Chains A and B, each alone.
Chain A
Amino acid sequence: MSSKPVPKPTPETQPFWDGCSAGELRIQRCKPCDAAYFYPRPFCPRCGSDEVEWFRASGRARLYSYVINHRPGPGFDEDAPYAIAVVELEEGPRMMTNIVGVENTPENLVLDMPLQVTFERRDEMAVPVFQPAVEGGTR
């Protein structure tokens, strides 16, 4: 069992977390804007429309920015030093995450490197984390 922080959904964010548990990165899109957005809200933060829908994002992203934290947060003692990163999804929105599948060093973590989503269990939940993308593939 992990002692890392476990997010607790609200009614409005439940579909996002259900997607994570199912191994899918589900986010929202505004139909009039034809643009994806994050974090979850039942209306478009750009135009205010409530004509929005959930969809499965590709999971492809690029590394936007990060720090490598040497003072571990709760549950992260064995991970330190670890990157706390912001990634930009192929569909446009950005989200905070961790980078897995590679030692978290400045040399390994190059801004704009391609990444692919994967999911990490937290109790009954799963949170999206990202790993370096395999060349030419989507895994």
Chain B
Amino acid sequence: MTAKQANQVAIVGAAETNEVGKLPGVSAIQLHAEAARNTLADCGLTPADVDGVAAAGISPIEVAHYLGVTPIWIDNTAIGGCSFLVHVRHAAAAIASGKARTVLITHGQSGRSRVGQPSMPASPQSIQGQFEAPYGVLGPPTAFTIPVLRYMKEYGLTHEQLAYVAVAQRKWAQRNPRAMMRDPITVDDVFASRVIAYPFHLLECCLVTDGGGALVVVSAERARDFPKRPVYVLGTGEACESPIVSQMEDVTTSKAFRLSSREAFAEAGIGPADVDHLMVYDAFAHLPLYGLEDLGFVGRGEAGAFVAEGNTEPGGRLPMNTSGGGLSYTHTGMYGMFAIQESVRQLRGEAAAQVEGVEVGFVQGVGGMFMAAGSLVLSNAS
């Protein structure tokens, strides 16, 4: 590895809530807390050992107080589902500069049951309220999806190839007992599911679930003092583009994906060919395709065929979204934490659908609807 070891950090604690899925008996703040407490147990720490707290969705002040932590470093970066990847990046900088020693990053969201879940109504004076809401937008299925017809026209992606993204990921979910959707599906099954927003069918849209996850990040120097195999953070990136999908520079590619992944690869001193395992935030079936292209794993317009040829499914040369992803595993709303969790499990060798010989993982997160991005290069070797 060529990474700058002096300033390196590692994920030494990682865990999810006891269950993910339908959890009407647990509030959003308790999902944060359950994930945090499981994570502290995972690395043998107590709340008193934590001096930095990062959270999104619910304020880190609320999370810290609920847990009994008094942090002297706080990060409330809340830029959608990639927030937790960006928290890792910010934690790495804070630890490297001595501003924190032990950072706890939490996610908890009652996305399905809506128990104690803060809502975020857009003001009719906001940019979204003035320039998108009047046209009948109703959440991500009606806006995040708009780019794909233009992509299909420009690059020849077929409806079958788009549907196959969901099929490939279900093959991973079949191997994961915690996945919400585990029955095998075909392209015809995808087409037979109801249309949500043409050209997207239900099975090309993510699940809506309850759950949480948390991480503990410390300096690489301290990483070996913890019970689990450390997962080193070799490179990180973050970027944002536009607050509304209609103002993307080019809807066939995510500028934020390109910028954040380039930064992470450069910091790690590696390229796509060095990656053994890939997680790309999959709120909808087109996102892994954008990720494969914008991160540089395949050329422009090649991702649909790459997935349809089986390259990302079990036995393929680039295992991707091996938990089943947001389409089949779980998707609380801000899914990025679960992408990190699966990458950590793969690098520790404890994933349900474990891939052999994983040394380098790449995690790509999206925030909002192509609004922002976060990227992590993780490895079990420092």
Complex interface: chain B residues within 8 A of A82 (CB): 136
Q: Which residues of A contact B134 (CB under 8 A)?
A: 4-7, 122, 127
Known: A8-B125, A65-B147. A84 touches B136 (CB 8 A): yes
Q: Is A69 engaged at the interface, CB distance under 8 Å to the other chain?
A: yes
Let me know if A43 is at the binding interface, CB within 8 A. Answer: no
The reply to whether B138 and A73 contact each other, CB–CB distance below 8 Å, is yes
Q: Does A33 contact B (CB under 8 A)?
A: no
| Residue B194 CB within 8 A of the other chain | yes
Is B200 on the interface with A (CB-CB < 8 A)? yes
**Closest residue to A5 on the B side, CB-wise?**
B133
Q: Which of A6, A38, A64, A81 contacts B124 (CB 8 A)?
A: A6
Within 8 A of A (CB), among B183-224: 194-200
- From B131, B153, B199, give the contact of A67 (CB < 8 A): B199
A86 to B124, Cβ gap below 8 A? no
Contact B153 A111 (CB under 8 A): yes
User: Which chain B residues numbered 20 to 78 have a C-beta less than 8 Å away from chain A?
Assistant: none
Interface bracket on B: 35 or more
Give Cα A137–Cα B244 distance, bound, in whole angstroms. 32
A72 within 8 A of B: yes
B132 at the interface (CB under 8 A from A): yes
Question: Known contacts A13-B130, A66-B146, A86-B251; is A98 also within 8 Å of B125 by CB?
Answer: no
A interface majority secondary structure: loop
Interface residue? A22 (CB, 8 A): no
Cα-based distance from A67 to B246 in the complex (angstroms): 12
Would you call A32 an interface residue if the criterion is a C-beta within 8 Å of the partner chain's C-beta atoms?
no
Interchain pairs with CB closer than 8 A, number: 117
Q: Which residue of A lies closest to B194 (CB)?
A: A70
A71 in contact with B196 (CB, 8 Å): yes
User: Which chain A positions have C-beta within 8 A of B124?
Assistant: 5-8
Contact A70 B197 (CB under 8 A): yes
Q: Is the CB of A71 within 8 A of B141?
A: yes
Residues of B within 8 A of A5 (CB): 124, 129, 133-134
* Cβ proximity bits B116-141 to A, threshold 8 Å, 1 near / 0 not: 00000001110101111111111001
Number of interface residues of A (CB under 8 A): 40
Which of B127, B142, B147 makes the CB contact (< 8 A) with A71? B142
A21 interface residue, CB < 8 Å from B? no
User: What is the 8 Å Cβ interface bit string for chain A, positions 7-38, against chain B (1 contact, 0 not)?
Assistant: 11110010001000000000000000000001
Which residue of A is nearest B154, CB measured?
A: A111
Q: Give the complex CA separation of A82 and B135 in angstroms.
A: 9
Chain A CB within 8 A of B247 CB: yes
- How far is A122 from B82 in the complex, measured between Cα atoms in Å? 36
Contacts of B129 in A (CB 8 A): 5, 7-8
List, in ascending order, chain A residues with CB within 8 A of B125's CB: 8-10
Given A86-B246, A96-B135, CB of A70 within 8 Å of CB of B198: yes
Contact check, A106 vs B133: say whether CB atoms are below 8 A apart.
Answer: no
A50 at the interface (CB under 8 A from B): no
A133 touches B (CB below 8 Å):
no
Q: Assess the A7–B194 pair: CB atoms within 8 A.
A: no
| Contact B136–A76 (Cβ < 8 Å) | yes
Knowing A73-B136, A84-B142, the reply to whether A68 touches B251 (Cβ < 8 A) is no
Chain B residues whose CB sits within 8 angstroms of the CB of A17 once the complex forms = 130
What is the bound-complex CA distance between A95 and B244, given in angstroms? Answer: 10
Beta-carbon contact of A72 and B138 below 8 Å:
yes
Alpha-carbon separation in the docked complex, A9 to B142 (Å): 23
Residues of B within 8 A of A85 (CB): 135, 146
Q: Determine whether B317 belongs to the interface, using a CB cutoff of 8 Å to chain A.
A: no
Asked if B150 lies at the interface with its beta carbon under 8 angstroms from chain A, I say: yes
Question: Is A67 touching B130 in the complex (CB atoms < 8 A)?
Answer: no
CA distance A68 to B195 in the complex (A): 9
Which residues in A have their C-beta under 8 angstroms from that of B198? 67-68, 70, 81, 106
B270 within 8 A of A: no
List chain A residues, Cβ under 8 A from B131. Answer: 7, 39, 95-96
15 A-B contacts (beta carbon < 8 Å): A8-B129, A13-B130, A38-B247, A66-B149, A67-B146, A67-B199, A69-B141, A69-B196, A72-B138, A85-B135, A85-B146, A94-B247, A95-B246, A96-B131, A111-B149
